[in-house]
Chains A and B, each alone.
Chain A
Amino acid sequence: MSEFQEKSPVLTREQLTADVVRLTLHCPRIAAAAKPGQFVMVRAGETLDPLLRRPFSIHKVTAEGGLAVLFKVIGKGTRLLATAAPGSSLDVIGPLGRGFYPDKTGPHCLIGGGMGIAPLYFLAHQLLAAGSSHANPPVLLGAQTQAELMLLAQEFTELGYPVLTATDDGSLGHQGFVTDLLDALLTEVRQVYVCGPLPMMRTVAAKCRGAGVACQVSLETHMACGLGACLGCTFPASSGGYRHVCKDGPVFSAEEVAWSR
């Protein structure tokens, strides 16, 4: 596995909501090597504050070397990155980590919550390109409000996936948790791929375990390097001890995670 560091011009900057931004960067070597579920480390600005790169899952890649990241402004780093204008450049390292294992043996279900939707688009795209011929149940997407979900839901629909949505305020689709939508589908699928807030992934993992369905989760933590050097991005493993999100993951079998620790 090889990673690259590229000075990456910002191709487009899309403001999806007041605080959700999608940047498409031109980093052809990273984009060409990227697999769904992998991530990039992006330097926010060139000064020493914020100091550390920010990890982002790879949302989309294009044949022309474009790579999109999708994020919500939550702190100093994302606030700065949200202002990156087309024509400026960002320093990007990637692709990093181990992505999703694409299981093509049966129907699958993708479940994304909030910014966790980002890597699932890349995965959905690849699963279709790989000729996954099974009739797949809907992609389940959850967010706080309609505004956050509209464009993303539409893009999954354009790929050819049916989409079911859930919002906290009921402004789009089911009012409540996106995980509520999973129960009716569990009998139809072999494999669930999920990315989102930890409580949501914990719920999905439990439902899948109960139904005997395989589940892959994409975890998120604070990270300093993304390269396996700082050992800062740990979570407790079901087999005891710790695993590192950056190198061992970020995608894991739900069974590898000690959800209760």
Chain B
Amino acid sequence: MEPVTSATPTPDLRVRIGGLTLRNPVCTASGTFGYGREFASLVDLNRLGAIIVKGISLLPRPGNPPPRIFETACGMLNAIGLENVGVERFISEKLPWLRQVTTPVIVNILGDSIDDYARLAGRLATVEGISALEVNISCPNVKKGGVAFGTVPEMAAAVTTAVRQATALPVIVKLSPNVTDITVIARAVADAGADGLSLINTLLGMAIDVRTRRPRLANVVGGLSGPAIKPVALRMVWQVAKVVSIPVIGIGGITTSEDALEFLVAGATAIQVGTANFYQPTATEEIVDGLTAYLQERELTSIGQVIGSLQVD
């Protein structure tokens, strides 16, 4: 008897973002996966494409008062308020454990001013164990009256330039969907030197308790995430991927490999799993398996054959 061997070789799932090669396109979205360790007993972290950790600011932030989250139809609202341990404690307390994981670690950074972003990027530039930066530009610019960096093309570009100049690491900029035309912001950020774009961050929303006539979140408004936003995210990824030449990372309600494939077909080079980590911690691994099976069933050898393959008549 001949040993039974697989008819199709294992397909190549590797993708590139700037100078960084990921073993597969499946990443964890910032703010939904803690600092990785929180999921270590449920998920094989070494099977992921990249771990994008909870957003880090220069100083620790306590976050917003409760209630901070509320479930909505096929989604959830959150107003966590960017609670985090700050860059120094991240480096001393969180990063050492992550260095034993073979998966690239991408650090999400956030600030109140362009100078904050530059200082964060500079501080992280030479720290061992960081493969790239993801810049959250959905935060308010304190010096410009609290307007979110990500809603004004010039401000988004200025943040990108400042981070670009402060580090040699690949720079990914995470775009807010709460804009009239996301392609304008995307182009401004790409022209300013970003190596990749990730989109979308949460959609601004709210919910009300009609018995008390009070908002469900103490912050009144919050970010909507989960499967409810997937069609919006997919549309924006498709629009942006058409107009920029840098890789796009798709985010928004991805739970299954079919969801992930939609984003890849629409033009995303990689994807991030966010809210699904909460209700299905193994979603990322299941998506990796599902992508492999999809390619094998079609006798495709590389995920590159799927990316941007949308057929429009």
Contacts and interface: CB of A to CB of B under 8 A. Distances in A.
Instruction: Say whether A associates with B.
Output: yes
Interface of A: 2-5, 43, 48-53, 93, 221-225, 227-236, 241-242
Interface string B16-45: 000000000000000111100011011000
21 contacts: A4-B41, A5-B42, A51-B275, A51-B279, A53-B278, A221-B66, A221-B67, A224-B76, A225-B32, A225-B38, A225-B277, A225-B278, A227-B38, A228-B38, A229-B32, A231-B63, A232-B68, A234-B63, A236-B66, A242-B62, A242-B63
A51 B42 contact: no
Q: Which of A2, A93, A231, A236 has the most CB of B within 10 A?
A: A231
Contacts of A53: 278-279
Contacts of A225: 32, 38, 277-278, 281
Which 6 A-B pairs rank lowest in CB-CB distance, beginning with the nearest? A232-B69, A229-B34, A225-B278, A224-B278, A241-B62, A229-B38
B278 A52 contact: yes
B274 to A, nearest CB: 10
Interface in B38-57: 38-39, 41-42, 54
Nearest to A236: B65
B205 to A, nearest CB: 14
B226 A51 contact: yes
Interface string B260-286: 000000000000000101111110000
Given A93-B281, A229-B278, A222 B67 contact: yes
B63 A230 contact: no
A17 to B, nearest CB: 23
Contacts of A48: 74, 226-227, 255
B34 A228 contact: yes
A233 to B, nearest CB: 8
The range of chain B's interface size is 35 or more
B83 interface: yes
A232 B76 CA distance: 11
B39 A222 contact: no
B153 to A, nearest CB: 31
Nearest to A53: B279
Contacts of B66: 221, 233-236, 242
B75 interface: yes
A171 B205 CA distance: 45
B71 A50 contact: yes
Interface string B61-100: 0110111111101111010100100000000000000000
A50 B63 CA distance: 26
A51 B71 contact: yes
A93 B80 CA distance: 23
A51 B41 CA distance: 22
A53 B31 CA distance: 18
A27 to B, nearest CB: 14
A93 B42 CA distance: 9
Contacts of B69: 222-224, 230, 232-233
Nearest to A247: B38
A51 B75 contact: yes
Which of B74, B80, B226, B281 has most chain A Cβ within 10 Å?
B281
A231 B76 contact: no
A5 B278 CA distance: 13
A100 B198 CA distance: 42
A231 B80 contact: yes
A228 B226 CA distance: 18
Contacts of B41: 2-4
A85 B38 CA distance: 32
B42 A222 contact: no
Contacts of B33: 229
A51 B281 contact: no
A232 B62 contact: no
B68 A234 contact: yes
A260 B108 CA distance: 35
B285 to A, nearest CB: 11
A27 B294 CA distance: 32
